[in-house]
Amino acid sequence: MSTAILPSQKNHSVVQIALFASGAGSNAKKIIEHFENSGRVVIKLVVCNKPGAGVVQIAADNNIPVLMIERERFFNGDSYLNELNLASIEFIVLAGFLWKIPETLIQNFRNRIINIHPALLPKFGGKGMYGSKVHEAVIAAGEVESGITIHYVDEHYDNGDVIFQAKCSILPTDTAESLAEKIHKLEHENFARVIEECVSKL
């Protein structure tokens, strides 16, 4: 006689995540730490387009393989889809990755690629809007608040469906640098948690 397995008794499969990053990797570090002892999520791969970027060392410190990518193959070749498949990647997280994601990856990971943007989209998004450039534009526009937007990635810059936003106030004395500190705090407080919520829906 067979016994029915209740939903709560089922073994949830582990989700393998690839982190795409281009810079120092502070968000990547927080995400890796968050999922270090997770039974549900494994950070399987760090994908980077900049040799010597800080995130490469963070990956090494945590024994996570790094896939270094070059522009021509990423945009005009197979977009490294084979390597991602070999690593059994099921979900992609952009944590400070500055290249636009090619259609090959978007089509193969539809609704399974998310990005974090350092402003309240749809304001201050689009091509060339990243890092300090965003904060400088926000300050110059006289905004009284800014924040972060976590969103799904589609074929257009900063255009996919919004998953989560968090806000911070901008004081008259704030500079792009001080605003960046507030934004980083919001990123570190929220990104890993939102990733976990997205993965739980798979």
User: Quick count: other Cβ atoms within 10 Å of Cβ 89?
Assistant: 21
The response to whether 159 counts as a known ligand-binding position is no
Among residues 12, 34, 117, 188, the one annotated as catalytic is 117
Question: What residues have CB less than 8 Å from 202, skipping those under 6 apart?
Answer: 15, 90, 91, 112
Question: What residues have CB less than 8 Å from 6, skipping those under 6 apart?
Answer: none
The response to whether 26 counts as a known ligand-binding position is yes
Question: What residues have CB less than 8 Å from 60, skipping those under 6 apart?
Answer: 66
Amino acid sitting at position 58:
I
Strand bridging mode 162-169 / 145-152: antiparallel
The response to whether 110 counts as a known ligand-binding position is no
The response to whether 77 counts as a known ligand-binding position is no
The response to whether 40 counts as a known ligand-binding position is no
Residue 34 annotated as catalytic: no
Helix, strand counts (H, E) of the chain: 7, 7
Catalytic sites, residue numbers: 117
Binding residues: 25-27, 71, 115
